Amino acid sequence: MRIVLCADHRGVDLKDQIKKLLEEMGHEVIDVGTYSHERVDYPDFGEKAALMVARKEADRAIGFCGTGMGMAIVANKIPGIRAVPVFSVLSAIVSRERYDANFISIPALLIGPLTATEAIKAWLTTDFEGGRHIPRVEKIGNIDKKYRKLADT
């Protein structure tokens, strides 16, 4: 799987740890930064990663920031992205099973590397359930399309 990673200065250390893990697991990893602890703005990196998924240049994205919330908000501004912050293994599993999430954000200041690792592994190995969730995910896509048109006017 092609996975794009992004982080702000608060998430860079965890991003780098997860990058090694994903490569060891055999995934192709694209790292769009940041690469240092110098203060940066998470929207700049979340946008890059989400665009790569929307354009099918990557299969999924993982963003790392302090709370996980900012990265998810940014990613959800990109049409076709379903991003959620993930705080546990259970939230990672549910994000795939019910919402077919293609972008998760990890709160580097709120969870440790072990929880992040286990949650990401679960997210990568959990399939979308389909069934009763398909019409709901389709409705999300339709809302996306409807308001994208509104924004263009």
Annotation marks residue 65 as catalytic: yes
Contact between 49 and 32 under an 8 Å Cβ cutoff? The reply is yes
Query: Residue 126, preceding bond cis, omega within 30 degrees?
Result: no
The end-to-end CA distance of the chain, in Å, is: 37
Q: Contact 44/65 with Cβ under 8 angstroms?
A: no
Sheet holding 2-7, edge to edge: 28-31, 2-7, 60-65, 103-107, 83-85
Burial class, 63, CB count within 10 angstroms (exposed 0-12 / middle 13-18 / buried 19+): buried
Q: Active-site residue among 3, 14, 65, 116?
A: 65
Angle between helices 113-125 and 89-97 (to 10 degrees): 20
CA distances from 139 to 1, 48, 77, 123 (A): 26, 25, 16, 22
User: Which residues are the active-site residues?
Assistant: 65
